[in-house]
Amino acid sequence: MRPYAWLPWPLRWLARVLTIFLALAVVLAGVLVYTVRQSFPQVEGTLRLSGLSGNVEIYRDKSGIPHIYADSSEDLFMAQGFAHAQDRFWEMDFRRHTTAGRLSELFGAATVETDKAIRTMGWRQVAERELPELSARTRRYLDSYSKGVNAWLQANPNASDRSLEYSVLKVQNGGYTPEPWTAVDSIAWLKAMAWDLRSNLEDEIDRALALTKLPRERVEQLYPGYPFDEHEPIVTQGAIVEERFDQQAKPRQEEPATDARGAAALAQARKTLDALPATMGGPDHEGIGSNSWVVSGRHTASGKPLLANDPHLSAQLPSVWYQAGLHCREITEQCGFDVTGFTFAGLPGVVIGHTDKIAWGFTNLAPDVADLFMEQVTGDTYLYKGEQVKLETRREEIKVAGGATVTIDVRSTRHGPLINEVMDDVKPGDGANAVALQWTALMPGRTADAIFALNEAADWHEFRAAAALFDVPAQNLVYADTEGGIGYQAPGWIPVREKGDGTWPVPGWTGEYDWKTAPIPYDQLPSVENPAEGYIVTANNAVIDPRRYQPLLTKDWSYGYRSQRITDRLKQEIDKGQVDAATMSRIQQDSNNGLATTLVPALMEVELAGPSARARGLLKGWDGSQGLDSAPAAYFNAVWRHLLKLTFDDDLPEAARPSGGDRWYEVVRRLLAAPDDLFWDDTTTEQVTETRDDILRQALADAYQEVSGLLGDDVGSWRWGDLHQLSLTHGSLGTSGIGPIEALFNRGPLPVPGNKDAVNATGWNVQKGYAVTAVPSMRMVVDLGDLDKSRWINLTGASGHAFHDNYWDQATLWAEGGLLPMYSRKESVREAAVHTLRLTP
């Protein structure tokens, strides 16, 4: 009997069509499953790897985190390159195209503007100049790493062998084949890292753009000084004495200066900066920051130090970090590494973590290492000290998949590339008509040397020697060792200016604001060993009070709300008894809003009626915590969003409007004491002059309207986690605009607690809504009393392969504030291993 013969004819026809569709769906699903799984790495058994000198073992735990064991450093880094490529090669390939300004070779015309911006900066060229200046040892390790990557690449020649992304790309760009990996590919990623941790460049432009609408004194109100009396700096003692920083020395003093013009050129420069990809930081450089702190054994349960770190970067999938252990089976001169921590796929070594003797963490020091010079350009020359000097010019050809090659001419003055010229032409006019960028990372440095030196350091002196090589990006380094020592070191190439303080664009033609040839000497940078209080806290706050320290590091610090909260919590915990790793983790999860104690009393004093008065009742007695279930946090953050928009959007050009964060905490805190300040007035209401209370009242009302529209009229049922959510977006294909492709790679959303400048710093932009844009990208707590009791978590997972078990398996635990064991002793690593791969020559 024929199938469906018993059905009426129309239903028989429909049944056959449905059968065909189901069969096609099954076939397509099978093809998709096969394609997805085809690229999953081999993690068991034995593989031969040409170029190894001895056997290597790679143990992976249930989270897919590899620990690599070898007898030579070269084998160790070759195996690291192989493991990185197994799990993350698409990410590595995408990153190197980003740093070289070659994204259009992958994605066509859609990324030409980004490539123009990167080519103008010249990241790849700087990396090429940097390689020969590195030590022979570092170059050897970089080459070994490249061999490992290329061994994997040769073994996986087909798109379906490499990852799902290559199969998707093949549909649009079937002719693309990845090139072999090189040492320069690794070094160039350090330039991207430096770019995202570059400090105050946007502030510099925004000040000047704000000046086009406001007088200078009102712009200065938006950039208040650091509140040293309320928020402690990192280093609370010491000064420079006899050309060295002495932590016991007493202080001295000094001043500033600036200039700004050429608004059209600056607006174009801002467009160039906006076109640069956020490789580690969020959109518009939002949320960049970090927490790290270290506690002496005097205050801990084990009697040995504890160190915590959580860098705040953009929310990417996969996470920017890759956890790994790199272990020489026996520590010898030929193989001196026993290090566990967070790595970057594409770069050998461990960036943040611990050896068998020391631990270290990073936060962004954020010194002013980039300046904008307004230039007077005429034809192919620029004015400098009364003379017309020839511009340096180089031609860049951008290959475009499916399109014609795009050619740009990058022109530079003595101060750096003209960053305003690559997006749209700026019409020449009187005075400044171009903007040059001078930035320390556009000079070759030795940061790659520093990473390997850190990975072998065994004590404070070796750690400081390694930090001396860390040119860019300048970071706050906290330190602890198994002998009981703790410390802090500020490293980095930080310029000394002839004049000015780096807060405004300056005229380049006078020569007055040029950088001196030498940076601040390393021995003069702030450093502390074993401070009397027994702890050191860094959270992008001021390093040291300028009344006790010159030369200038920067004026654009984070304002210390996070750092002071950590300090206060630490003092409370120390007073209660001994601190342990669980204590450190609880502090990392602190969600307190540092503005609440200032703003809530002002909101409660405003005369208010109607439903917004009922919502305001949520704030009565609120402790400032911002947990997932908090109704007060949902309402308060909505009030904050509308307060900033109502107060400042009418006064500022779009690029300079507030995104939130603790600079705006300080601005509003000071404005609350000035109820008739001009900023309170809404310039769009010509017949009315608003005061503070008018704007506060309107913010309360607007916030109620918005949140009730999103979450309903029952204010008691509002939850901060229903507004404040993290979507994990694939770093390259996750914003393709093609729904099915995005669904393959993106995950979430996850509700998360915290806020932009809470210790649990989950950033969001008040101009755009409550969605999370930047996060603690990982968390780590190292116990120097027993390294196997250390804990860690990554934002997503070890694997970059969509649908792999380890693609985002750490994300839920991360959102809940949990941590995984951070094993490093071989016995513990082997016991936790669920997969063992042996690599042989």
> Annotated binding site for Ca(2+): which residue ranges?
204, 368, 371
| Residue 240 near residue 230, CB atoms below 8 Å | no
Tokens of 388: 């017309």
The residue among 183, 141, 148, 145 whose CA lies nearest residue 49 is 148
* DSSP count for the chain of H helices, then E strands: 25, 32
In the residue annotation, 290 being an active-site residue is answered as yes
What is the dihedral sign for C-alpha 123, 124, 129, 134? positive
Give, in order, the Cα–Cα distances in Å from 97 to each of 94, 403, 506.
Answer: 5, 17, 33
Of 290, 630, 659, 736, the active-site residue reads 290
What is the dihedral sign for C-alpha 590, 600, 693, 224? negative
Tokens of 652: 């500022």
> What residue spans of 100-135 are helical by DSSP H?
104-107, 112-121, 123-130
Backbone phi and psi for residue 307, each to the nearest 5 degrees, phi listed first: -130, 130
Q: What is the dihedral of CA 223, 226, 230, 234, to 10 degrees?
A: 140
Residue reference for tokens 């000047």? 208
| Residue 611 near residue 738, CB atoms below 8 Å | no
Q: What is the dihedral of CA 710, 713, 719, 720, to 10 degrees?
A: 50
- The contacts of residue 823 (CB under 8 Å, 6+ apart) are 61, 67, 325, 340, 788, 829, 832
CA distance 390 to 387: 10
Residue reference for tokens 């004495």? 241
| Residue 797 near residue 63, CB atoms below 8 Å | yes
CA 517 to chain centre: 29
| Residue 699 near residue 635, CB atoms below 8 Å | no
Backbone phi and psi for residue 98, each to the nearest 5 degrees, phi listed first: -65, -50
Containing H/E element for 10? helix 9-38
Q: Please, which residues bridge with residue 597 across strands? A: none
Q: Please, which residues bridge with residue 793 across strands? A: 779
Question: Would you call 299 helix, strand, or coil by DSSP?
Answer: helix
- Number of alpha carbons in the 13 Å side-chain half-sphere of residue 274: 13
Would you tell me the crossing angle of helices 631-648 and 692-711 to the nearest 10 degrees?
130
Tokens of 700: 């309360």
CA distance 409 to 479: 45
CA distance 183 to 136: 13
Containing H/E element for 720? helix 720-723
Give, in order, the Cα–Cα distances in Å from 19 to each of 2, 4, 29, 494.
Answer: 14, 11, 15, 69
CA distance 765 to 281: 13
CA distance 209 to 651: 11
Would you tell me the crossing angle of helices 692-711 and 596-604 to the nearest 10 degrees?
100
Binding residues: 204, 368, 371
Residue reference for tokens 């400032």? 624
Q: Please, which residues bridge with residue 340 across strands? A: 325, 354
What 8-state DSSP symbol labels residue 579?
A: B
DSSP 588-617: HT----TTHHHHHHHHHTS---SHHHHHHG
Question: Would you call 311 helix, strand, or coil by DSSP?
Answer: strand
Which residues form the catalytic set?
A: 290
